[in-house]
Amino acid sequence: MTILDHDDHVVSKPMFLAFEHETRVVSVGALLPLKILNPDIKQTAKYKQIASSIEAVGIIEMPVVICNPNQPGTYFLLDGLLRVEALKDRGDREVECLIATDDEAYTYNKRLNRLAAIQEHRMIVRAIERGASEEQIAKALNIDPASVRRRSRLLDGICLEASSLLEDKHCPLVIFELLKQMKPLRQMEASELMVGQNNYSAGFARAILAATLEDQRVPSRKRAAVVGDVTREQIVRLERELTTTQQRTRCVEESYGIDNLTLTVTKTYLAKLLSRPKVVQWLSQKRADYLTEFQAIADISSLS
């Protein structure tokens, strides 16, 4: 790896790989998990989906392991506990693994972005285009074929701008059904509201739909005048308040980085200043109120 030093000279530094070049087939019995598996996990939809996927198409994402230095021939399982457990339930004795070269202090899954609804939709559409049947996909995902059809048609009637806003957001499928009842411009407004409030619940989307005027709705859809005990006028007023809040939030976000940097520098400077006894003594005698505030800033433990 080449980098530039302070004088813009090219300096070569070795690059360390996080994994070995070659994968390795490892005995399932030689894998040592780093945490205890809760027996109830096997009753969850997540585990059943993993087991069904392995049964249908095999292992897609290989487990990550690192050699156990204290017991040659065994490996610590860094990632893939549920996959390995599913293989054990199948009776498999070996699994192909990625061999890590460094035991990181975090779980690999925490650095992975799981599929959002739109990403899952595109994956299903691509699989269908390549010849996979709805039944095969349903078996791999442990869902029924009707759900596969629903997911494959997720963006039918959704404008490009709205789908772009929600592309990486984890929205329930019902959100898109509600958006389809709105015209494109209103879909964009609704998507911006959900993103701005970081709220992708069905209830919030239904409230936005209820606040949508007739000329902003798809004609073939009918709208109830009241959602529960809340009138449309109340929801419209709430939406205006949310829009105002969203605008204020954006203003704060624009200045947050600079404000955070300023506070960090100030905190460091004050901590260094207050480490001098003479300065503290002078402030306590001349500016006791300043000293109290300075100490409060210097004692901030987190800027998150």
Q: What pLDDT is stored for residue 224 in this prediction?
A: 47
Q: Which amino acid is at 39?
A: P
| Vertex 199 angle, CA 195 and 202, to 5° | 120
Q: What are the sequence ranges of the domains in the chain?
A: 24-111, 114-154, 171-260, 274-304
CATH 3.90.1530.10 fits 24-111, yes or no: yes
Q: What pLDDT is stored for residue 114 in this prediction?
A: 60
- Helix, strand or coil, per DSSP, at residue 97: strand
Q: What pLDDT is stored for residue 291 in this prediction?
A: 86
Per-residue confidence in pLDDT tens, the chain, 304 aa:
545 555 555 555 566 666 788 889 999 999 998 888 888 888 888 888 888 888 877 777 888 999 988 888 999 998 889 999 999 998 999 999 988 887 654 455 544 456 688 888 888 888 888 888 888 888 777 778 888 888 889 999 999 999 999 998 888 889 999 999 999 999 998 998 888 888 888 888 888 888 888 888 988 645 444 444 556 666 667 767 777 776 676 676 677 778 778 888 888 888 888 888 888 888 888 888 888 888 888 888 765 5
Q: What pLDDT is stored for residue 193 in this prediction?
A: 86
Q: What pLDDT is stored for residue 31 in this prediction?
A: 93
- Helix, strand or coil, per DSSP, at residue 227: strand
Pair 204, 216: CB distance under 8 Å? no
287: left (phi over 0), alpha (psi -120 to 50) or beta: beta
User: What's the CA dihedral at 38, 69, 63, 41 to 10 degrees?
Assistant: 0
Interatomic CA distance for residues 82 and 54, integer angstroms: 11
Its pTM surpasses 0.85: no
Q: What pLDDT is stored for residue 74 in this prediction?
A: 92
Q: What pLDDT is stored for residue 214 in this prediction?
A: 84
